Amino acid sequence: ALYSADTVLSAIVPAGTKAPDAKKAAFANPDFSAADVFKLARESGGEVLEAGKGEALGEMVERIRTRYSLHYRAPEGGVARFRKIEVRLSAGARAKWKKAEVRARAGYVVR
């Protein structure tokens, strides 16, 4: 649903909250399991911060304000399906901005 809505999920979770064990989650019944906010945020290009940090909301707002958006025209035609993408910094950009982090969605849905 996040992909088809072109939505990025960023979340603030209670201090000490950890992502579910991926091995156990693979066998969980999705009808009776809570959504994995860590996975949803990662796959949509968002992030998760802990509320235990004194200024978590301010930090999240600042991170959202300082993001860049990258847009491109996807190849036309083809079957409606999910297409994976990978966004990386070039070697030159990594050398210039050593603290830069890339957060990008895992792909997009062809409509």
Contact indicator for 52, 12 with CB cutoff of 8 Å: no
Q: Quote the pLDDT of residue 81.
A: 81
Q: What pLDDT is attached to residue 35?
A: 74
What CA–CA distance (Å, rounded) separates 15 from 51?
Answer: 5
Residue 33 pLDDT > 90: no
Torsional class of 16: left (φ above 0), alpha (ψ -120 to 50), beta (otherwise): left
More confident site: 20 or 39 = 39
Separation between Cα atoms, residue 27 and residue 23, nearest integer Å: 7
pLDDT in tens, 92-105: 999 999 998 888 88
Domain assignment present for 2: no
- Domain of residue 83: give its range: 11-109
Whether 6 is covered by a domain: the verdict is no
18, two tokens: 């950890």
- Please report whether residue 29 resides in a domain: yes
Identify the residue whose tokens are 């072109």: 6
The answer as to whether 64 is a domain residue is yes
Write down the pLDDT at residue 108: 82
How many domains does the structure of the chain reveal?
A: 1
89: confidence class by pLDDT, cuts 50, 70, 90: very high
**Structure-token match 């993001």, residue found:** 67
Q: Give pLDDT tens digits for 50-81.
A: 887 678 888 888 888 888 888 878 777 777 78
Provide the mean pLDDT of the chain.
Answer: 82
CB 109 within 8 A of CB 3: yes
Residue 1 lies in a domain: no
